[in-house]
Amino acid sequence: MSTNPLLDFNDLPLFDQVQPQHVAPAVESLLAAADVALETVTQPEFPSRWNDIAKVLDTATEKLGRAWGVVSHLNGVADTPELRAAYNEALPKVTDFWTRLGSDERLYAKYKAIDPASLNAEQRQAHKNAIRNFVLGGAELTGAAKERFAAIQERQAELSQKFSENALDSTDAYSYYAGEEELAGLPQDVIQAAKAAAQAEGKDGYKLTLKMPSYLPVMQFAHGTALRERVYRAYVTRASDQGDPKFDNSALIREILALRQEEAQLLGFRNFGEVSVVPKMADSPQQVITFLRDLAARARPYAEKDVGDMRAFAATKLGIQDPQAWDWSYIGEKLKEERYSFSEQEVKQYFTAPKVLAGLFKIVETLFEVTIRRDVAPVWTPGVELYRIERETREGDRISTELVGQFYLDPAARNGKRGGAWMDDVRARWLRPDNGQLQTPVAHLVCNFAEGVDGKPPLLTHDDVITLFHESGHGLHHMLTRVNERDVSGISGVEWDAVELPSQFMENFCWEWDVLRHMTAHEETGAPLPRELFDKMLAAKNFQSGLSTLRQIEFALFDMLLHTEHDPAQDFMPLLAKVRQEVAVIQPPPFSRTAHTFSHIFAGGYAAGYYSYKWAEVLSADAYAAFEETAGKNGLPSIETGRKYRQAILEAGGSRPAMESFKAFRGREPTLDALLRHQGMA
C-alpha cells in the first residue's frame, strides 16, 4: 500500500478512497506518533509551556483525532461488515490511548506547572478545562485503581459500539411487504417509495421498514389498525428481549450502568450523575431533577387536556373507544387535520429539498453576514454535497474574501446509515502551533430524509425542515467561531447542556412567515406556501406541546435517575415504569422497550445529560426572544441583533462559560418565560 488516504492531512479527507484495509495501518502509525509525542513532552527537561506542549503533542493527537473521525463517520453513514470489523479492531487501541493520555500524571504535572498568567484568555479557559478533564480522566488515580479505570473506559467503548450496532441492525433487519389494500390512508409518495423498495429486491407488494421516512407515515396515516399495530410493535421492541435475541441490548445496558457507577466511585463521586454535571452548567443532579419535575408540573395540565381532546375525538369521529399505543399518532394527526383543516401531507408538497436549502442559506447569509457556495471534494456516497462559508472583508477600497468554514450535507436515509440526525466536526478552527497557519473549521450535517421519487426532488415534512435548521445551528456554532485555540473553538469546550442553544435557536425561524415563504415552492405548480395554510400551521404549532414536553421529560428524568438513584445490579425496566407513572399521561404497553434503543445515553455522549435538550431550550427561547423584541416593521429579524448574537455566542465558542456568553448577548440570566410562551403553556 503506497499511500494511505487516512494519512493525508493536506486538506479535506479523501472519503472516496478510504477502504477498510486502510484503517489498521493508519491507526497504528498515528498511535505510534502520538505515543512518541506524549513521551517527549513528559520528559523532566521538557518545558511546562503551553505552546511548546501544543507544538509537539496537540499536533500529533489532532491528526489521530481527525483520521479516527473519518473512520467513525464512515462507520455511521456507510456501514459495511468489513468496515465494522476494521473499526471494532482499532477501537480498543484508540480508546486505550485517549484514556492513557487523559490520566497521565506526568502530563497532568506539566499542565499544573503552566503559569496561567503566561496565557491569553482563550488558552486560560482551555487550560482550566484541561486540568478539570485530567481529574475526571483519572489522572489522580494510582496503581490498581488507575488500571481498573482504563479497563472500564475500554470496555465501555466496546459496549457502546455494540449497542449502536444492535440498534442499527435490528432496525435494518425488519421489513414487511404489505398488500395494496393495507396501505389505505398513506401518502402517495410513501406508497411509491415502498413499491420501488420492493421492486428493487425483485419482490411483490410494498416494502415497509422501521426507518423514519417509512415508519412515521404508517403511524400517522395508515387507516388499518392491524398494520399500525404490527409496525409499532416491531419498532418499540427493537434490540430488546422482545425481539431477535442476537440484537438484544438488555445485558449491554446493565453492564454499561454498572461500569459507570464503578467509574464514578473510583473518581470519588457517589454516582455517575455527579460526574456528568461537573463540566456542565447545572450544579448538581438534584438541580436537574428539580428543574425537570418543575417543568413537568407546568406542562401536565396541558398534556392532560391534549389526551382528553384526543379520546373524545377518537370516540366520536373515528369510532375508537379504547385507544391503544399504536393509535395515538393516527388520532393526533386526524384531530389536527380536523381542528386546523390541513394535513402534514398537504404541507409537504411545498417543501422541496432544494428550495428549503436555498431558504436556509438565505437566512444564514442575511443574519450572519456570510456567503454560502457549493464546493468540491471527495464524498462517501452520491448525493452528499460540500459547501463553503465565506465572509467579505473591506479595508479601504480593497475587498477580500475569507474562507470561514466548510460543511458536508448528507440528507438521505439509506441502509447502513444509522438513524436520526446529527452534526459532527471534521476538524476545528485552530491557529496551528506547528506552522503558524490558521486551520478553518469543517463540519458534517447528517439527516435521514426520504429520497425523491420518480426523478422528483425529495419532499420534506415541516418536522424535517426543523431538523435541518437544528443541525445547521450546531454547524454554525462550530464554523462561525473566531477562537484560535482548538480546544475551545467552535463547539469544543462548550458545556454539554448549553451546546443545544444555537441548534434550537435556529428552529424558531421555521415558524416565521417572512422566512418560510421564501423557502417553499409546490412540487408541481411551483407556487409558494399560501399564507392561509401557514396560519393554520402556526395555529397548530403548539398542538400537543404539553404531551411532547412530557415525553422529553420522561426520557430526561429516566436518564438522570438511572445514573443517580438506580442500583445497576437491579433490572432497569421497573424504574422506567415508575418514571412513566410519574410523568406520562399516556402509558405505553408493557412490551415497549424504548430504553433498548436510547442511543443518546448508551452510545452517544448524553449519559446523565439528556436533560440538556430541555435546559438549552430555556436558553434558546430566551435568546430568540431578543429577535422578536427587535424585529423590523416587515417582520424580518434585525441584522444588528444577528450580529450581536453571532459575536456573543457563536464566535465565542467554548472560550468562556456559556452563562457569560448568554449574559453578553441578553444582558441578564435566562428565564423560563419565553419557553412557556413559545410553547403555548404560559
Of the listed 471, 500, 554, 617, which one is catalytic?
471
DSSP state of 352: B
DSSP state of 440: P
Q: What is the distance between the alpha carbons of residues 516 and 534, in angstroms, rounded to a whole number?
A: 9
Are the CB atoms for 103 and 138 separated by under 8 Å? yes
β-bridge mates for residue 402, sequence order:
391
Look at residue 110 and give its three-state secondary structure. helix
Amino acid residing at 439: Q
DSSP state of 186: -
β-bridge mates for residue 409, sequence order:
385, 445
Look at residue 14 and give its three-state secondary structure. coil
Are the CB atoms for 543 and 305 separated by under 8 Å? no
Q: What is the distance between the alpha carbons of residues 41 and 142, in angstroms, rounded to a whole number?
A: 21
Are the CB atoms for 633 and 617 separated by under 8 Å? no
Strands (E), 154-272: 176-178, 206-208
500 as an active site residue: the answer is no
Q: C-alpha distances in angstroms, 165 versus 82, 232, 603?
A: 14, 21, 10
> What burial class does residue 290 get, using C-beta atoms within 10 Å of its C-beta: 0-12 exposed, 13-18 middle, 19+ buried?
exposed
Q: What is the distance between the alpha carbons of residues 275 and 442, in angstroms, rounded to a whole number?
A: 30
Could you tell me what percentage of the chain is helix, strand and coil, using 3-state DSSP and rounding each to the nearest 5? 60, 10, 35
Give the three cell numbers for residue 83. 468496515
Per-residue H/E/C for 78-143: CCCHHHHHHHHHHHHHHHHHHHHHHCCHHHHHHHHHCCHHHCCHHHHHHHHHHHHHHHHCCCCCCH
Of the CA atoms within 13 Å of residue 223, those in its CB half-sphere come to 9
Q: What is the distance between the alpha carbons of residues 129 and 303, in angstroms, rounded to a whole number?
A: 41
Q: What is the distance between the alpha carbons of residues 250 and 253, in angstroms, rounded to a whole number?
A: 5
Give the three cell numbers for residue 125. 479557559
Q: Which residues contact 65 (CB under 8 A, 6 or more apart)?
A: none
Q: C-alpha distances in angstroms, 109 versus 53, 122, 648, 670, 677?
A: 12, 21, 34, 38, 50
CA-closest candidate to residue 504, choices 364, 615, 667: 615
Give the three cell numbers for residue 571. 433490572
Q: C-alpha distances in angstroms, 201 versus 206, 231, 437?
A: 11, 20, 51
Span between the terminal Cα atoms of the chain, in Å = 64
- Bin 236: left if φ > 0, else alpha if -120 < ψ < 50, else beta: alpha
CA-closest candidate to residue 403, choices 58, 12, 67: 12
Look at residue 680 and give its three-state secondary structure. coil
Rg, Å, the chain Cα set: 25
β-bridge mates for residue 431, sequence order:
438
Q: Which residues are catalytic?
A: 471
